[in-house]
């Protein structure tokens, strides 16, 4: 089990205890995202510019790393300034395992991890009022530290090539940057560029990536093409 939390910021500065495993996973993730074939331009921009935090935790979905990850996400939220919303930034949480699981199993673990994070976070923070806490609502977004996030899951057996990575990983993208892109009239152009890169990489776009706000984003987090009638296994804790 990894019993450490580390972060990487502004391309050259590390904070927290380091390990060979952490450096290896980080460097592999950085290389993956900066590859010219990688289709997610937001992640490419955040990592390339150093506007990201990186943490390595234990096994996805287990309690051991949940408190550390909840703490690190709260620090990430507190460190962001209003001006940061005009740039892509992200928090990357990688996990030591389990490796090579099916898409269905990864989806189960992803939501178990998000539920556990929420159970911890809800003791101290309200849900971001700008989004819904109902995963069936088109306004849904995951909330940590009182701020909304769009979560992207990566794992080794993802059917979408851009979602493949050797270690299970959750990428937490602040929602405010998407609102800023829309306000600036840049969102649709970036969305179309991502779709063009997806077609070039895999011959099609991810069927789960609908227009932003047109369908519940919870369907997109794990990356699996979910079936009609799929219900998200997540419940907001109303009583904190």
Six-digit token pair at 182?
Answer: 């829309």
β partners of residue 142: 149
Give residue 53's Cα distance to chain centre.
Answer: 12
Distances (CA, A) of 69 to 91, 93, 116, 141, 231: 10, 8, 10, 18, 25
Q: What does the pLDDT average to over 191-196?
A: 74
Higher-pLDDT residue of 22, 178: 22
For residues 115 and 235, the answer to whether their CB atoms sit within 8 Å is yes
Average pLDDT, the chain: 84
- Residue 36: its pLDDT value, please? 82
- Residue 44: its pLDDT value, please? 83
Model confidence at 85, in pLDDT bands (50, 70, 90)?
Answer: low
Residue 200 pLDDT > 80: no
SS3 54: strand
- Residue 183: its pLDDT value, please? 72
Token pair 């690190």 is found at 72
Q: What does the pLDDT average to over 219-223?
A: 93
For residues 209 and 98, the answer to whether their CB atoms sit within 8 Å is no
SS3 90: strand
Does the predicted model carry a pTM greater than 0.75?
yes
- Residue 20: its pLDDT value, please? 82
Six-digit token pair at 204?
Answer: 């099609």
Higher-pLDDT residue of 211, 214: 214
Paired sense of beta strands 142-144 and 7-9, if any: unpaired
Residue 213 pLDDT > 60: no
- Residue 41: its pLDDT value, please? 80
Rounded Cα gap, residues 190 and 183, in angstroms: 13
Residue 228 pLDDT > 60: yes
For residues 115 and 233, the answer to whether their CB atoms sit within 8 Å is yes
- Residue 154: its pLDDT value, please? 96
Phi first, then psi, for residue 79 (nearest 5°) are: -80, -15
**pLDDT tens readout for residues 1-56:** 333 444 444 433 444 555 788 889 999 999 999 988 787 888 888 898 888 999 99
Q: Is 72 left (phi over 0), alpha (psi -120 to 50) or beta?
A: alpha
């Amino acid at each position: 089990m990894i019993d450490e939390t580390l972060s990487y910021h502004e391309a050259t500065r590390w904070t927290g205890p380091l390990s060979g495993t952490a450096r290896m996973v980080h460097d592999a993730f950085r290389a993956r995202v900066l590859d010219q074939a990688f289709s997610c331009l937001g992640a490419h921009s955040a990592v390339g510019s150093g506007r990201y935090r990186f943490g390595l935790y234990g096994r996805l979905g287990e309690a051991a790393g949940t408190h550390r990850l909840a703490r690190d996400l709260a620090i990430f939220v507190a460190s962001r300034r209003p001006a940061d919303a005009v740039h892509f930034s992200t928090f990357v949480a990688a996990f030591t395992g389990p490796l090579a699981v099916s898409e269905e199993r990864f989806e189960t673990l992803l939501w178990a991890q998000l539920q556990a994070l929420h159970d911890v976070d809800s003791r101290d923070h309200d849900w971001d009022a700008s989004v819904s806490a109902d995963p069936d609502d088109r306004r849904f977004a995951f909330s940590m530290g009182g701020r909304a996030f769009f979560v992207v899951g990566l794992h080794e057996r993802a059917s979408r090539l851009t979602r493949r990575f050797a270690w299970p990983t959750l990428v937490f993208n602040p929602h405010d940057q998407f609102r800023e892109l829309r306000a600036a009239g840049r969102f649709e152009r970036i969305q179309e560029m991502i779709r063009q890169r997806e077609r070039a990489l895999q011959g099609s776009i991810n069927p789960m990536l609908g227009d932003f706000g047109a369908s519940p984003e919870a369907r997109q987090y794990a990356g699996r093409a979910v079936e009609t009638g799929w219900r998200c296994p997540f419940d907001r804790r109303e009583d904190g």
